[in-house]
Chain A
Amino acid sequence: MVTPKAPTSNQSEIPCIGTMNLGLTIRGSTLLNDISIQVTTPGVTMILGPNGAGKSLLIKCLHGLIAPTRGRFEIGLHQRGKTIPQAMVFQKPVLLRRSVIDNLQFADRHSHQREALERALEAVSLLEKKDQPATQLSGGEQQRLSLARALITKPKLLFLDEPTASLDPASVLIIEQLIKQASQQGVKSVFISHDIGQAKRLGSDVIFLNRGQVIEHTDAATFFTNPHSREAKAYLDGEIVL
């Protein structure tokens, strides 16, 4: 088996992702098949595709939550051997049964002062609710807290699994602004979305998946103006892709 070469980016602090024939089979079903990608660009890599395409499974594999059954992947920086701090925001926010600020503190590996935690909450417009039980926040607030919690760990690589699905526009705006801000600070994001408008607003490149396979991986401008695959064209035209 060939070990994927960790790609190198032109910006030494931007994490790069390389996979080689990555596959996942569970109970005889092939859910991911021969995924070979090289993500070297900074900014936000959007993962698009219909339901059941394997988008969530792919980022869970890359984040280390699921072990792939075939192939290899590597996430690298220029400084080889250095552990790359990663974080993930899940589609359904998972919050501890404690206050908003305690949820942040729980994930805080860098022992921030309380003021720093409060600033992080302010960035997601949750400072006023810092002492409220986190599970009593609205869906949008919970997801904003999840993002703040992910960012407080100072990740270099951030995976986001449909973080804005069925959220109010205000929450979507805050989340998108924070992702852009993080990108400017050198955080690489891999973002799953079903919202084509959002993909256009955020994406620097797009990976289009269907039936567990990478159909297309190209820069965002090309993907949205001139998609090469029939499936991607159909998806962008709003047709049902099976």
Chain B
Amino acid sequence: MPDSAFLEAFGLIATANADLYEILWLSVQVSITALLISVFLGFPIGTTLAILDFRGKNLCTTLLNALMGLPPVVVGLLVYLALSRSGPFGVLGLLYTPTAMVIAQVVLITPIIAALTYQVMDDLHREYRELFLSLNIQLPKAISTYLWDARYSLITTVLAGFGRAISEVGAVMIVGGNIDHLTRVMTTAIALETSKGELAIALALGVVLLTLALIVNGLVTAVRTRARKYGYT
């Protein structure tokens, strides 16, 4: 690989190349939006599954765990079919827009957030259940206690979801179309620029993506260390 591509890549980052930062900003916007929606859906799903006993609970948890491994391209295809002109939501005209990319990411990361939330809450519920019964703690207070006491684990869950969202390529490529200045995000741009032989911009985006991944992992480690230090795990 030519050294000049690396130098050019760092040059693009250092000079705040407009195209690069536009792609970065859209990536972050799409991923954060998808993450917020997924947290909004995934926390209640995971918590409800952990706390409530009902027929078919095992089936639901098995399904949720299976959905964690959804292949992104299959999700992309399904969202594409749903949003395409002839699909049930075609009239909304969302295909090849950032909204379509958000939808695909929500479908991908909600099961991850929900399943990890379920695991955290289930452990806590098993530990606290008898105490809460003994103290006659009502459900709303129990739920708020679970959420507060599991806060460090839940932050880790959210960061894991963000990591998954920001690094996703297959689904957003299909539903977003990788349109310049409209739906081009870091991962799809890297794939395109590499295929075109434009290694500098691909490398610059790769460096930024890698930095983001390192920051997220650093935060996860910091959160875990703090939780362990204060006995909150």
Chain B interface residue number, banded = 10 to 19
User: Is A136's CB under 8 angstroms from B134's CB?
Assistant: no
User: Is B230's CB under 8 angstroms from A90's CB?
Assistant: no
What separation, in Å, do the CA atoms of A135 and B135 have in the docked complex? 19
Give, as a whole number of angstroms, the nearest-CB distance from B122 to chain A: 16
What separation, in Å, do the CA atoms of A60 and B145 have in the docked complex? 23
A residues 62-120 with Cβ under 8 Å of B? Answer: 63-65, 86-88, 90, 94, 96-98, 106-107
Residue A190, interface by CB 8 Å: no
User: Is B145's CB under 8 angstroms from A136's CB?
Assistant: no
What separation, in Å, do the CA atoms of A63 and B149 have in the docked complex? 25
Residue of B nearest to A60 (CB): B130
User: Is B134's CB under 8 angstroms from A88's CB?
Assistant: yes
User: Is B231's CB under 8 angstroms from A106's CB?
Assistant: no
User: Is B232's CB under 8 angstroms from A94's CB?
Assistant: no
What separation, in Å, do the CA atoms of A88 and B131 have in the docked complex? 8
Q: Which of A86, A87, A97 contacts B149 (CB 8 A)?
A: A97
Give, as a whole number of angstroms, the nearest-CB distance from B80 to chain A: 44
Give, as a whole number of angstroms, the nearest-CB distance from A108 to chain B: 10
Residue of A nearest to B134 (CB): A88
User: Is B128's CB under 8 angstroms from A94's CB?
Assistant: yes
Give, as a whole number of angstroms, the nearest-CB distance from B193 to chain A: 46
What separation, in Å, do the CA atoms of A87 and B133 have in the docked complex? 10
User: Is B145's CB under 8 angstroms from A96's CB?
Assistant: yes
Residue B53, interface by CB 8 Å: no
Give, as a whole number of angstroms, the nearest-CB distance from A111 to chain B: 14
Residues in chain B near residue A94, CB distance under 8 A: 127-128, 130-131
User: Is B231's CB under 8 angstroms from A133's CB?
Assistant: yes
A residues 40-80 with Cβ under 8 Å of B? Answer: 60, 63-65
Chain A interface residue number, banded = 10 to 19
Give, as a whole number of angstroms, the nearest-CB distance from B146 to chain A: 10
Residues in chain A near residue B128, CB distance under 8 A: 94, 96
A residues 102-153 with Cβ under 8 Å of B? Answer: 106-107, 133-136, 153
User: Is A65's CB under 8 angstroms from B130's CB?
Assistant: yes
Residues in chain B near residue A60, CB distance under 8 A: 130
User: Is B232's CB under 8 angstroms from A135's CB?
Assistant: yes
Residues in chain A near residue B145, CB distance under 8 A: 96, 106
Q: A96-B145, A97-B149, A98-B149 are in contact. Are A65 and B231 (CB under 8 A)?
A: no
Q: Mark B123-147, 1 if CB is under 8 A from A, else 0.
A: 0000110110111000000000100
User: Is A134's CB under 8 angstroms from B231's CB?
Assistant: yes
Q: Which of B135, B231, B232 contacts A153 (CB 8 A)?
A: B135
User: Is A64's CB under 8 angstroms from B133's CB?
Assistant: yes
Q: Which of B130, B134, B135, B231 contacts A97 (CB 8 A)?
A: B231
User: Is B149's CB under 8 angstroms from A135's CB?
Assistant: no
Q: Which of B127, B134, B230 contacts A65 (CB 8 A)?
A: B134
Give, as a whole number of angstroms, the nearest-CB distance from A148 to chain B: 13
User: Is A133's CB under 8 angstroms from B230's CB?
Assistant: yes
What separation, in Å, do the CA atoms of A60 and B149 have in the docked complex? 25
Residues in chain B near residue A107, CB distance under 8 A: 135
* Max count, chain B CB within 10 A of own CB: residue among A86, A94, A136: A94
User: Is B130's CB under 8 angstroms from A96's CB?
Assistant: no
What separation, in Å, do the CA atoms of A155 and B6 have in the docked complex? 71
User: Is B232's CB under 8 angstroms from A133's CB?
Assistant: yes
User: Is B131's CB under 8 angstroms from A90's CB?
Assistant: yes
Residue of B nearest to A99 (CB): B230
Residue of B nearest to A63 (CB): B134
Interface pairs A-B: 3 shortest CB-CB:
A135-B231, A133-B231, A136-B231
In the assembled complex, 6 residue pairs joining A and B whose CB atoms fall closer than 8 Å, in A order, are A90-B130, A94-B127, A97-B232, A98-B148, A98-B149, A106-B145
